[in-house]
Chains A and B, each alone.
Chain A
Amino acid sequence: MRPVEIGLDGLLCLLLLVLAWKALRAPHLYQSAIYFIALGLVMALAWVRLAAPDVALAEAAIGTGLLGVLLIDSLRVFARDSKTDPDAESEEPPPGEINVYPAGSARPSGRTLPMILVTASCGLLAILLVEAIIELPDGGGLTAAAQENLERSGVDHPVTAVLLNYRGYDTWLEVGVLLLAMLGIFCAGGRVGFAETRQSNPPGHLLSWLIRALAPLMILAAAYLLWLGKLAPGGAFQSGVILGSAGILLRLAGFQVISRLPPLAVKLGLLLGFGVFLIFGGAALLTGRAFLEYPEARAGELILLVETAAAVSIGFTIFAFFAYLNSRDQPEAQENHAREEGGNQKP
């Protein structure tokens, strides 16, 4: 390894530690969120240095872009809640300054017992991870086996082969976790989140022009990444996140997204990924193969189909997370929802 590379990697490690600490200890939760986004970016770079572009793409898209939007938006909701609370500490900026921190974003003081528990758990996890790295067999464990069977898997990229063929079961359950999280949100707040309201202050012409121009490009990029997953880093998750982000951007610019679609289409979109996996798995069982085992001759096409369904569902789910957060507690949304429900109910 050349000295330049050692220096670069050392700098990345140092930056990761500093940013993680800053994210934990910044005086405002808003600052924490920003540090967390920076942490995700550096983490993506670290994955690139570890020659894992698939993980880097996912980290940059999910860990940085999406999570950042969700965190900052959550803080905005907290700020709105604390504004209506008369006991809330008001943080009026000194005259002549702009208060960049939303009200109620000051970090709550930590309690000792949870802090100790969390620290102990993290320490234990770190020890286990270090042990796992020490016990890693020479030659990277299953890499050789994955490469050997690549020809029979239906795709040319080992990561996609592992995700969709060798370990399709894991990916299926991951899509299931997303679906469960979405159902959890529905249970916690009802379906109010889907009643979209027009934003009170629409963004300027320039911003809505940019988003109008970018949204089709993003859909194109999502399709490209999906197709690329067959032979290079890319695939359902990255593609789904880009689809979801396109929806979020449109939503931020005040465009109606979900309410333009028939409700059945939305539900189908959310369920598609999990359902297609399940149907294929069941069909494989019925024809005497193992669960989620693809027939070798058609594996490529089937994987593409499953991936497409998964990407659409991931995109819908991610957008639904945001749409829910974004319109929670908006009286107008609740009214719309109540009217809709009332219209549907029959005595």
Chain B
Amino acid sequence: MTPADAATIVFCLAGAVFFLAGTVGLLRFPDIFSRLHALTKADNLGLGLIVIGLVFQAESIAGAFKLLLIWGLALAAGSNTCYAIGRYALERLPEKGPKEVEK
């Protein structure tokens, strides 16, 4: 196994852990905001770590750059989706406050 392969395995596994944690959070957390919090960790860090892992396998500099661009796009889109969902939920919040909100 080359050092590059080892780095790929380490980073991808770390990314998978974030995705797993994000999924568990989505399923188990009580309200919409903490669920969003769990999801965005998976999106941002999990995908980022997997992209870094894959960069070690890229055949060219351009290929690695493309992977990083994909991550950047997912970051921008993901944070915006989170913001949009959060705003939608906040606008429809009953008086009681965020703790009471069920999805």
Rounded to whole angstroms, the CA-CA distance of A206 and B79 in the bound complex is: 9
Whether B102 contacts A204 by the Cβ 8 Å rule is: no
Residue numbers of A with Cβ under 8 A of B are 95-98, 100, 203-204, 206-207, 210, 213-214
Residue numbers of B with Cβ under 8 A of A are 32, 76-77, 79-80, 83-84, 87, 89, 92-94, 96, 100-103
Residues of B within 8 A of A207 (CB): 80, 83-84
Residue A96 contacts which of B76, B77, B83, B101 (CB distance < 8 angstroms)? Answer: B101
Whether B76 contacts A98 by the Cβ 8 Å rule is: no
Whether A96 contacts B94 by the Cβ 8 Å rule is: yes
Residues of B within 8 A of A210 (CB): 76-77, 80
Residue A97 contacts which of B76, B80, B87, B102 (CB distance < 8 angstroms)? Answer: B102
Rounded to whole angstroms, the CA-CA distance of A98 and B32 in the bound complex is: 10
Q: Given A206-B83, A207-B83, A207-B84, are A213 and B100 neighbors across the interface (CB < 8 Å)? A: no
Residues of A within 8 A of B77 (CB): 210
Rounded to whole angstroms, the CA-CA distance of A214 and B77 in the bound complex is: 9
Who on chain A is nearest to B89 by CB?
Answer: A98
Whether A98 contacts B102 by the Cβ 8 Å rule is: yes
Rounded to whole angstroms, the CA-CA distance of A204 and B85 in the bound complex is: 12
Residues of A within 8 A of B79 (CB): 206
Rounded to whole angstroms, the CA-CA distance of A292 and B76 in the bound complex is: 44
Most B CB contacts (10 A, CB to CB) among A98, A206, A213, A214 go to: A98
Rounded to whole angstroms, the CA-CA distance of A98 and B92 in the bound complex is: 7
Residues of B within 8 A of A96 (CB): 94, 96, 100-102
Rounded to whole angstroms, the CA-CA distance of A47 and B101 in the bound complex is: 40
Give 8 A-B contacts (CB < 8 Å), ordered by A residue.
A96-B96, A96-B100, A96-B101, A97-B101, A98-B101, A204-B84, A207-B83, A210-B76
Residues of B within 8 A of A214 (CB): 76
Residues of A within 8 A of B96 (CB): 96
